[in-house]
Amino acid sequence: MPEAPLPTTAATAPMLEAIGVSRVFDVSRPWLQRVLAREGRLGLRAVDTVSFAIPRASTLSLVGESGCGKSTIARLSVGLLAPSGGEIRFEGQSLSVARAQAALRRRMNMIFQDPFASLNPRWRVRDIVAEPLRAFGLVHGTAERTARVAALLAQVGLAPSDGDRYPHEFSGGQRQRISIARALASEPEFLVCDEPTSALDVSVQAQILNLMRDLQERLGLTFLFISHNLAVVRHMSDRLGVMYLGRIVEIGPAETVFRTPRHPYTRLLLEAIPDLAMVGRARTPVGGEVPSPIDPPSGCAFHPRCKLANARCREEKPEQVAAGDVLVACHAVAEGRA
């Protein structure tokens, strides 16, 4: 359902709200080559008029295959990228305004995918974790800082003595714990997690997912969770958005989307994932691959792979319509053909 306009007070506004957000990247060739080939500039619409809201202390997950724009949304949501169109609001305030205030900025943070690339190899762990404390001037004096770092490390299941070591001395799972400790240092309320476990083995992934759920419960955190792994998403989310080529094709309560997927692409994804329950069962995979976002298909971007596609799907971009308590961008669903 289209969300009713909310009064923009901090108490009632969603933690984060995206209103018709787009982001275009310039992927043109260099000027000289462009002139010689008589080409214009080329824009890649990585995110195309995306809207969502994340209520306080809940988790919204975005899933999709490579190139669907989910990581771009992660970056937009913490202000690492500016939207080309639309607006992102943090507690009812425009993100560009909120980012200018340190007091608001420290309340959001991000956990990245690769714990090998996101920690400075030349810094000791205690300095990595203390960086946000220093940046926001949250502690005064060495003793207070040491105590705070020790508490943060303990919170993610590491020993205070681990602070003296360097990142390379830790395994992938432990490094992701360090990333989480750093992300929590400024006592944020909103965390963007971009594929936080996709570089980890499953048994370690389970440890990190359990830790994140525990921390959410204990600290009342709000998560924007980005993943390509639907099973992980099912485990973590309250609400779920499915993305395809820069657009959200279906969004709603996670349980509803998993139990009764409406959009043909959501069905394809759920169908395609190998699962332990699939022992001995055969499947009929859907053909085709994700098209290039530089030259997306006309109309509904999914129509070349969709069994339900008709002339309208090839020409007209579907808008989101309410189907029960989920929003679905599909002509077939809107017309009652699916």
Partner 1 sequence: MPLLDVRDLTVEFPTRRGTLRALDGVSLALEPGEVLGVVGESGAGKSLTGTAIIGLLAPPGRIAGGQILLDGTRIDTLPEEAMRRLRGRRIGAIFQDPLTTLNPLLPIGRQLTETIRTHLSLSAAEARERAVHWLDEVGIPAASRRIDAYPHEFSGGQRQRVVIALALCAEPQVVIADEPTTALDVSVQAQIITLLKRLTREHGTAVMLITHDMGVIAETADRVAVMYAGRIAELGPVAEVVRQPAHPYTKGLMGSIPSLEHRVARLAQIDGAMPRLDAIPRGCAFHPRCPLAFDRCRTERPEMMPAGPTVAACWRTAAQPAQAMRAADA
Q: Which of residues 21 and 240 has its CB atom nearest to partner 1 in the complex?
A: 240
Q: With CB under 8 A, what is the number of residues at the site for partner 1?
A: 47
Residue span binding partner 1 (CB under 8 A) among the ranges 6-14, 43-51, 160-168, 276-284: 276-284
Residue 330 to residue 18: CA distance in whole angstroms: 21
269 binding partner 1? (CB under 8 A): yes
Cβ burial of 16 (10 Å; 0-12, 13-18, 19+) is buried
Candidates 24, 81, 286, 338: give the one binding partner 1 (CB under 8 A). 286
Q: Which of residues 228 and 312 has its CB atom nearest to partner 1 in the complex?
A: 228
CB neighbours of residue 55 within 10 Å = 16
Residue 138 to residue 109: CA distance in whole angstroms: 15
272 binding partner 1? (CB under 8 A): yes
Angle separating helix axes 172-184 and 142-155, nearest 10 degrees = 130
260 binding partner 1? (CB under 8 A): no
139 binding partner 1? (CB under 8 A): no
315 binding partner 1? (CB under 8 A): no
Query: Which two structure tokens, joined as six digits, stand for 301?
Result: 């971007």
Residue 43 CB, nearest approach to partner 1 (Å)? 22
Residue 180 CB, nearest approach to partner 1 (Å)? 16
Q: Could you tell me where the beta strands, DSSP code E, fall in 245-332?
A: 247-253, 321-323, 326-328
Residue 212 CB, nearest approach to partner 1 (Å)? 11
Residue 182 to residue 161: CA distance in whole angstroms: 16
Q: Which of residues 112 and 170 has its CB atom nearest to partner 1 in the complex?
A: 170
32 binding partner 1? (CB under 8 A): no
Q: Which amino acid appears at position 17 of this protein?
A: E
Residue span binding partner 1 (CB under 8 A) among the ranges 78-86, 272-280, 310-318, 326-334: 272-280
Site for partner 1 in 188-247 (CB under 8 A): 201-207, 209-210, 213, 228-232, 234-235
Residue 188 CB, nearest approach to partner 1 (Å)? 24
Phi-psi region of 38 (alpha: psi -120 to 50; beta: other; left: phi over 0): left
Q: Could you tell me where the beta strands, DSSP code E, fall in the chain?
A: 16-26, 43-54, 59-63, 85-90, 93-94, 108-111, 190-194, 222-227, 239-244, 247-253, 321-323, 326-328
Residue span binding partner 1 (CB under 8 A) among the ranges 11-19, 113-121, 134-142, 274-282: 274-282
Candidates 3, 144, 255, 316: give the one binding partner 1 (CB under 8 A). 255
Candidates 154, 273, 311, 322: give the one binding partner 1 (CB under 8 A). 273
- Residue with the two structure tokens 């681990």: 162
Closest CA to 241 of 233, 186, 335, 172: 233
Residue 178 CB, nearest approach to partner 1 (Å)? 14
Residue 24 to residue 276: CA distance in whole angstroms: 39
Q: Which of residues 169 and 315 has its CB atom nearest to partner 1 in the complex?
A: 169
Binding mask 145-184 for partner 1 (x = CB under 8 A): --------------------------xxxx----------
Q: Which of residues 185 and 215 has its CB atom nearest to partner 1 in the complex?
A: 215
267 binding partner 1? (CB under 8 A): no
Closest CA to 256 of 188, 165, 328, 334: 328
Cβ contact 32:94 at 8 Å: no
Could you list the residues that contact partner 1 (CB under 8 A)? 65-66, 171-174, 201-207, 209-210, 213, 228-232, 234-235, 255, 258, 268-281, 283-290
